[in-house]
Structure 1
Amino acid sequence: MTFFKTALYYGALVSLLLTSFVSHANPPKEIFWEDLIPKNHVQIDTQAQANHEGSDQNWIQPDLDAPVVKELDGQSVSLPGFVVPLEGDSEVITEFLLVPYFGACIHVPPPPPNQIVHVTIKGGVPIDSLYDAIVVTGVISTQAWSGEIAQVGYKMKAVGVAPFEL
């Protein structure tokens, strides 16, 4: 990791820690991908069905009407996932899609919109490897977003990004 990337990474980490310290009375809620699916909704398992062979049908994003969990709107949360970069440069990214598994939207069709989060982070953050899972902390909204790659059910204004550790 270059000095610049290291400095930015630790700067983002310090920012996350300070934000957590200042908002100690209301720390971010740790959520996971299943928490983005309403309780009574039967979700289509797209990861198991995705493949690189066959018709173009395999590359179409499924369940475009997949509902979101309205109660999450405006909450401070932490969510692990993988990055699909959208905006940035060779040092940092400022906009990306957070997806539940590696390769979603790049090597395999996108998951349903309620399984993708459009993330923006002021100042950007270095991402060393798209193969590695991260945890994003910020305020989530149920505002939809649509881009060339996929339709998205959630947006997040991130305040921090850190490596995901079990």
Structure 2
Amino acid sequence: MKKRITLGLIAIMTAFVGHVAIANNQPLTLDWIDLVPEHERAQFDRRGMPDIRHDAENPQSLVGSVRPELNNSQVKIPGFVIPLEGDDKVVTEFLLVPFLGACIHVPPPPPNQIIYVKFADGAPIQALWDVVYVEGTLNTEHVIHDLAEVGYVLEGTALSDYDDG
């Protein structure tokens, strides 16, 4: 009974914070663990990553699901860019991941820890090695890409340096 009350309070507080952000025309600022449903977070570390070995034999972990209540939310989330479409000045599609080298040098994170970002007009990318904030409309959508399976798609509206927060 106590656990149900606690989970209920967490759900109410999460909804309240989301409504306050919407009321203020501010996007909901997320951390990567926020993309993992509450009842699944015990299997993830504080960064939102399951316990994995980093070797070539270790494929993408498909552990975890998405949070459907985040569908169609205005959000802001920090991450690293893996360009997919664009040129040397702008990128129109990219994967946003929680740590440098994800999907390239180590096995990809689980699908609920990768966001497929689309910028219709292109987003300028000056330093791909730096953390950036991405803002836009987040949707729960399963995408299979050559690099990884993805659980979220974001229609990007703004990209800024992480320092600018």
Pairwise TM-score range, normalised by the shorter structure? 0.7 to 0.9
The CA distance in 2 between the partners of 1:87 and 1:50, in whole Å, is 30
Q: 1:57 Cα deviation (Å)? A: 2.1
Consecutive unaligned residues of structure 1, counting only runs of 5 or more, are: 1-22
- Aligned residues of 2:92 and 2:122 also touching (Cα < 8 A): yes
Q: 1:102 Cα deviation (Å)? A: 0.5
Deviations 1:47-67 (A, max 9, x none): 764435xxx422x101x2521
Query: Match of 2:119?
Result: 121
The CA distance in 2 between the partners of 1:82 and 1:43, in whole Å, is 23
Q: 1:26 Cα deviation (Å)? A: 2.5
Query: Match of 2:15?
Result: none
- Which residue identity is paired with 2:43? Q
Alignment of 1:2-151 (within 5 A): 25-41=24-40, 42-44=42-44, 49-52=52-55, 56-58=56-58, 60-62=59-61, 64=62, 66-151=64-149
The CA distance in 2 between the partners of 1:43 and 1:139, in whole Å, is 27
- Aligned residues of 1:145 and 1:152 also touching (Cα < 8 A): yes
Aligned residues: 139
SS at match of 2:89: coil
The CA RMSD over aligned residues, in Å, is 1.9
**TM value normalised by structure 2:** 0.77
Whose RCO is larger (CA < 8 A, sep 6+)?
Answer: 1
Q: Could you say if the C-alpha distance between residues 76 and 133 of structure 1 is closer, same or farther in structure 2, counting changes exceeding 3 Å? A: same
Query: Match of 1:12?
Result: none
Which structure shows the higher strand fraction? 2
- Aligned residues of 1:28 and 1:77 also touching (Cα < 8 A): yes
The CA distance in 1 between the partners of 2:115 and 2:43, in whole Å, is 16
**TM value normalised by structure 1:** 0.77
- Which residue identity is paired with 1:99? V
Consecutive unaligned residues of structure 2, counting only runs of 5 or more, are: 1-21
- Which residue identity is paired with 2:98? P
The CA distance in 2 between the partners of 1:87 and 1:31, in whole Å, is 25
